[in-house]
């Protein structure tokens, strides 16, 4: 009988000549009437090969298009003990799994050491273009060889390649059989409806997920563990604070709105809430927001309610008093390296224009984006205003002050923003300021996100003083 054959096809595996007794046993393998072959999702590759070996069944594997690669570290960096523990835990977990460490604790170094140990072509997945370039720099420095980029206009595949999740979803059906090690940075994104196909369409037998916050509000971290392996190592921010992370404190500043803004806010909120009540919309339910959008688009009254919703939100996000507080904090931290975060681009550009500061958003072109980040790192620019692009991953160790002018209710977003200022430096004392508009929806949002352990274990200073 002809030997069993395994081939890679558009993010799946095609199996031919599968012996009858084995047909029902191979992981996730089904007969495909469309092509008259057996087919399995690509991520089952390792499991299927293990099963064939266990049954001592000969096979021809043309799916795997990678071999050992002699990666040599050009730089030696001694890992902290917890980093070594994380590496050991990953090996013990069958060379797969998720490592959860706070931002600034050196997740990238763990990945680099594992790439060097595993000696397999490696594809690193990242959520943003900024992170793609950051990984590119770090990998080039550590391995001194060509590093490929896939995404953001680049289409270069090398044995070490960095790609965005978005690009991987589109292109993994073509190159998903060329990498033996798949690394997913900020891997809490992976269980997303589309992003999961980056992992599903790859045959990489060895997988590493890196994140500071594996838990998801939709509970889909179980999907994450199914695709990458269980969480094999976790350390929390307070366990490393002061040791490998900077000491930090969180200062919440409850800001009063100006009288005219307060009147506008109350009126807009009244219109919005009245509509919710009349249309019987419960914003606390998972469909609440979609129902509101839908119903608001149907009538003149609804459209007015939607406009009112935006007005009250904008007023609480970017009141005049908040701008005054930003100025006050800039002055208070003269000489420090400050990151100012906003919820939306408009507010970021308003602040940038008012205080003549560099603003980094997804609209910033690559060349200037690099110039802003490098300028901030080398001290040419002491303040950087940003909306969301610096929330995750981007390494700005010099930052020691963060001012959150506005944000979403997401715990993850705030933990990630806090993480931007936690990288350890000699004598560094990090401070995170949260500006919260008093007696607005922001107050409750702030209360909700404070339940995270990163907040509960920090030195927390509430402050409700009006700026002079």
Partner 1 sequence: MLTKNLLRYKIQNGRILPQFVNPADSQLLAIAEQLIAVFEAAPNKPRATLLETSKQIIDSTPGVPIVKRGLEKLLLDRTEFDTAPNEELIAFRQKLFTETSRLLSRETFPNYADYQLFVQAQFDEAELGTKLYADLPSCQPVLAFKTLSAERLLHRYNAAQVQGLLLHCNTLTLKLADSMTAELRQLFKYLRFHQLLCTIQRSGRHGDAPLQKQEKQNENLYRITVDGPLNLFYKTKRYGMNLANFFVALLHQPKWELTAELQFRNSQPYRLCLDESCGIKPISQQFLAYIPEDIQLFQAMLRNKTEAWDIRPGSQFLPLAGDFYCFPDYTLVHESGVSTAIELFHPWHQGHLIARLNTLAEQTCVPLILGVSKELEKKPFIAEALAASAYFSQFGFTFRDVPTMGSLLPILNSLVNQ
Contact residues toward partner 1 (CB under 8 A) are 2, 5, 7, 9-12, 14, 16, 28, 30, 32-37, 39-41, 60, 62, 173, 193-194, 197, 200-201, 286-287, 290, 293, 297, 303, 324, 327, 330-331, 334-336, 349, 352-353, 355-359, 363, 365, 367-368, 371, 375, 379-383
C-beta closer to partner 1: residue 77 or 299: 299
C-beta closer to partner 1: residue 97 or 352: 352
Distance CA 391, CA 258 (A): 29
- Minimal distance in Å, beta carbon 371 to partner 1? 7
C-beta closer to partner 1: residue 266 or 346: 346
C-beta closer to partner 1: residue 33 or 56: 33
C-beta closer to partner 1: residue 191 or 358: 358
Calculate the dihedral angle through the C-alpha atoms of 279, 280, 281, 283, rounding to the nearest 10 degrees: 140
- Minimal distance in Å, beta carbon 365 to partner 1? 4
- Minimal distance in Å, beta carbon 194 to partner 1? 7
CA of residue 172 relative to chain centroid, distance: 20
Rg, Å, the chain Cα set: 25
Vertex 346, ends 340 and 350: CA angle to 5°? 65
Beta bridge partner(s), residue 359:
385
Interaxial angle between packed helices 107-118 and 81-92, expressed in degrees from 0 to 180 and rounded to the nearest 10? 50
Alpha helix (H) ranges present in 176-258? Answer: 196-200, 221-228, 237-240
* Extended strands (E) in 59-121: 59-61, 96-100
What is the residue whose two structure tokens read 């997988």? 207
- Minimal distance in Å, beta carbon 211 to partner 1? 23
Q: Which of 157, 173, 169, 167 is nearest to 9 (CA)?
A: 173
Q: Looking at the chain, how many residues does it have?
A: 468
C-beta closer to partner 1: residue 11 or 127: 11
What are the φ/ψ torsions at residue 233 (nearest 5 degrees)?
-155, 140
- The contacts of residue 61 (CB under 8 Å, 6+ apart) are 6, 49
- Minimal distance in Å, beta carbon 58 to partner 1? 14
Distance CA 270, CA 185 (A): 43
The tokens for 426 are 């000699």
Q: What number of other Cβ atoms are within 10 A of residue 171's Cβ? A: 18
- Minimal distance in Å, beta carbon 111 to partner 1? 27
Beta bridge partner(s), residue 61:
6
Is residue 387 helix, strand or coil?
coil
- Minimal distance in Å, beta carbon 171 to partner 1? 12
C-beta closer to partner 1: residue 147 or 340: 340
- Minimal distance in Å, beta carbon 137 to partner 1? 21
C-beta closer to partner 1: residue 270 or 332: 332
C-beta closer to partner 1: residue 25 or 353: 353
- Minimal distance in Å, beta carbon 83 to partner 1? 34
Distance CA 159, CA 145 (A): 10
- Minimal distance in Å, beta carbon 348 to partner 1? 10
CA of residue 155 relative to chain centroid, distance: 22
- The contacts of residue 236 (CB under 8 Å, 6+ apart) are 102, 453, 454, 457
CB-CB contact of 283 with 296 (8 Å): no
- Minimal distance in Å, beta carbon 32 to partner 1? 5
C-beta closer to partner 1: residue 206 or 381: 381
Helices (H) and strands (E) in the chain, counts: 18, 20
C-beta closer to partner 1: residue 110 or 384: 384
């Amino acid at each position: 009988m002809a030997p069993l054959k395994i081939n890679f096809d558009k993010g799946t595996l095609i199996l031919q000549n599968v012996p009858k007794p084995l047909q029902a046993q191979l992981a996730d393998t089904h007969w495909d009437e469309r092509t008259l072959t057996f087919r399995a999702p690509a991520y089952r590759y390792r499991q299927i090969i293990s099963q064939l070996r266990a049954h001592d069944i000969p096979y021809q594997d043309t799916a795997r298009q990678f071999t050992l690669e002699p990666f040599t570290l050009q730089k030696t960096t001694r890992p902290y003990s917890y980093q070594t523990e994380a590496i050991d835990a990953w090996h013990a977990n069958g060379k797969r799994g998720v490592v959860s460490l706070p931002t600034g604790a050196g997740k990238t170094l763990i990945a680099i050491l594992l790439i060097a140990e595993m000696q397999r072509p490696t594809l690193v997945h990242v959520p943003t273009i900024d992170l793609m370039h950051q990984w590119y720099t770090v990998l080039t420095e550590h391995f001194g060889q060509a590093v490929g980029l896939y995404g953001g206009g680049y289409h270069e595949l090398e044995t070490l390649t960095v790609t965005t999740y978005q690009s991987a979803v589109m292109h993994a059906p073509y190159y998903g059989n060329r990498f033996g090690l798949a690394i997913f940075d900020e891997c809490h994104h992976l269980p997303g409806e589309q992003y999961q196909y980056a992992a599903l369409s790859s045959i990489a037998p060895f997988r590493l997920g890196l994140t500071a916050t594996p838990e998801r509000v939709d509970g889909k971290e179980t999907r994450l563990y199914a695709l990458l392996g269980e969480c094999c190592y976790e350390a929390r921010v307070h366990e490393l604070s002061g040791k490998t992370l900077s000491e930090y404190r969180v200062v919440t500043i409850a800001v009063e709105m100006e009288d005219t803004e307060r009147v506008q806010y109350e009126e807009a909120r009244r219109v919005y809430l009245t509509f919710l009540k009349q249309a019987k919309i419960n914003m606390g339910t998972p469909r609440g927001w979609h129902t509101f959008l839908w119903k608001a688009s149907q009538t003149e009254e609804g459209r007015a309610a939607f406009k009112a919703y935006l007005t009250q939100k904008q007023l609480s996000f970017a009141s005049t008093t908040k701008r005054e507080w930003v100025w006050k904090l800039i002055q208070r931290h003269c000489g420090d390296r400050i990151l100012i975060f906003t919820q939306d681009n408009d507010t970021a550009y308003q602040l940038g224009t008012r205080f003549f500061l560099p603003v980094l958003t997804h609209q910033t072109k690559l060349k200037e984006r690099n110039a802003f980040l490098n300028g901030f790192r080398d001290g040419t620019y002491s303040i950087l205003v940003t909306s969301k692009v610096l929330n995750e991953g981007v390494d700005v160790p010099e930052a020691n002050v963060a001012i959150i002018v506005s944000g979403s209710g997401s715990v993850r977003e705030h933990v990630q923003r806090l993480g931007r200022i936690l990288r350890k430096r000699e004598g560094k004392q990090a401070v995170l300021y949260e500006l919260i508009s008093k007696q607005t929806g922001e107050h409750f949002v702030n209360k909700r996100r404070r339940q995270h352990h990163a907040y509960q274990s920090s030195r927390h200073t509430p402050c409700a003083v009006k700026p002079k």
